[in-house]
Structure 1
Amino acid sequence: MKLNPFEKKLVQHPLRFWLQNHIEAPLLTSMMPKPQPYIQHALEIGCGFGNGIHLIREHFGAEHVTAVDLDPEMVSAAKAYWRTSTHGLEQLEFSIADATALPFREAQFDTVFNFAVFHHIPDWQSAIVEVARVLKPNGYFVIEDLYRAAICNPLSRRLFEHPQQNRFNHQQLLHMLRQAGFQIVCDRNLFNLSGMVLAQKGCA
């Protein structure tokens, strides 16, 4: 499901990027093993306006980033943002793609990132299975997301357009990750409103 106009304005606000860069990304990197593993090729699901690419490069040290989004407008905006940056489009790829049917071969990526995207996906379980497919054995899935209680309430329904059926909480997310072959390395749950998870794909 695509963002509505209000949410598009919200996610591209400078305050949102500040929070991601100074609060969320350090919390996520603190969950990673030390020394932090080398990421040659990362995938971001739901690239939005391109802020996540900065986090993946600067905080996680990814050499190459493939960024996908279901919304062509988001892909175009992210590409335009990075085209005018000091780094340009070097070591970046962009694609319009559905998270439940990723157009990539098996075991292609070292790490996959979900920065608050899966609560937009009606069939989020299939998206997790797809992440497992495209991740290399021992690869990491870095997740931060919103849960049922945060999006299935009157205020959220008034402001945003989120799927209201088949939503998940922290324990349901962990259960599905384990079913898809992931081991939970670290997880944090904020009152079942939102959470962070570092999951690692097992070896076949």
Structure 2
Amino acid sequence: MKLNPFEKKLVQHPLRFWLQNHIEAPLLTSMMPNPLPYIRHALEIGCGFGNGIQLIRDHFGAEHVTAVDLDPEMVAAAKARWHDSPYGLSQLEFSVADATALPFANAQFDVVFNFAVFHHIPDWQAAVAEVARVLKPNGYFVVEDLYRAAICNPLSRRLFEHPQQNRFNHQEWLAGLRQGGFEILCERNVLNLSGMVLAQKRMA
């Protein structure tokens, strides 16, 4: 499900990026193995306006980032943002794609990132299966997301457009990851409103 106009304004606000860069990304990297593994090819699902690409580069050191989004407007905006950057487009790839049917080969990525996107996906279980498919064995799935209590309430329904069926809480999210072939390496739960998870794809 695409963002509504209000949420699009919210996610591109400078304060949102400040929070991602100074609070959320350090918390996520603290969950990773030390030292950080070398990331040759990372995938971001739901790239929005391109903030996540900078987080993936600066905090996780990814060499190449593939960024996808269901919304063509978002993909175009992210691509335009990075077009004239010193990083350039040589190590970036953009695509309009559905998280439940990713247009990539099996075992292509070292790490997949979800920066609060899966609560927008009606069939999130299918998207988890796709993440497992495109990850290399022992690859990492880095997650931060919102849970049922945060989006299935009168205020959230008034401001945003989120699927209201088949939503998940923290334990259901962890169970879905395990069922999808992941081992949970680290997890954090904030009042069952949001959470962070580092999961690793199990060897076949």
* TM-score when normalising by structure 1: 0.99
How many matched pairs? 204
Task: Write the mapping of 1:94-173 to structure 2, written as runs, cut at 5 A.
Answer: 94-173=94-173
Could you tell me how far apart the structure 2 residues matched to 1:155 and 1:112 are?
31
Could you tell me how far apart the structure 1 residues matched to 2:202 and 2:124 are?
20
Could you tell me how far apart the structure 2 residues matched to 1:5 and 1:35 are?
40
Please list the CA deviations of residues 20-56 of structure 1 after superposition, one character each: whole Å capped at 9, or x if unmatched. Answer: 0000000000000111100000000000000000000
Which residue does 1:93 correspond to in 2?
93
Which residue does 1:192 correspond to in 2?
192
* TM-score when normalising by structure 2: 0.99
Letter in 2 for 1:94: F
Task: Write the mapping of 1:52-67 to structure 2, written as runs, cut at 5 A.
Answer: 52-67=52-67
Could you tell me how far apart the structure 1 residues matched to 2:150 and 2:180 are?
25
CA RMSD of aligned residues (A): 0.5
Which residue does 1:82 correspond to in 2?
82
Letter in 1 for 2:44: E
Could you tell me how far apart the structure 2 residues matched to 1:134 and 1:157 are?
33
Q: Which runs of 4+ in 1 moved over 3 A?
A: none
Q: Percent identity?
A: 84
Letter in 1 for 2:74: M
Letter in 1 for 2:181: G
Offset at 1:90? 2.2
Please list the CA deviations of residues 58-85 of structure 1 after superposition, one character each: whole Å capped at 9, or x if unmatched. Answer: 0000000000000000000000000022
Find the residue that maps to 1:3 and give its secondary structure: coil
Find the residue that maps to 1:107 and give its secondary structure: coil
Could you tell me how far apart the structure 2 residues matched to 1:203 and 1:24 are?
29
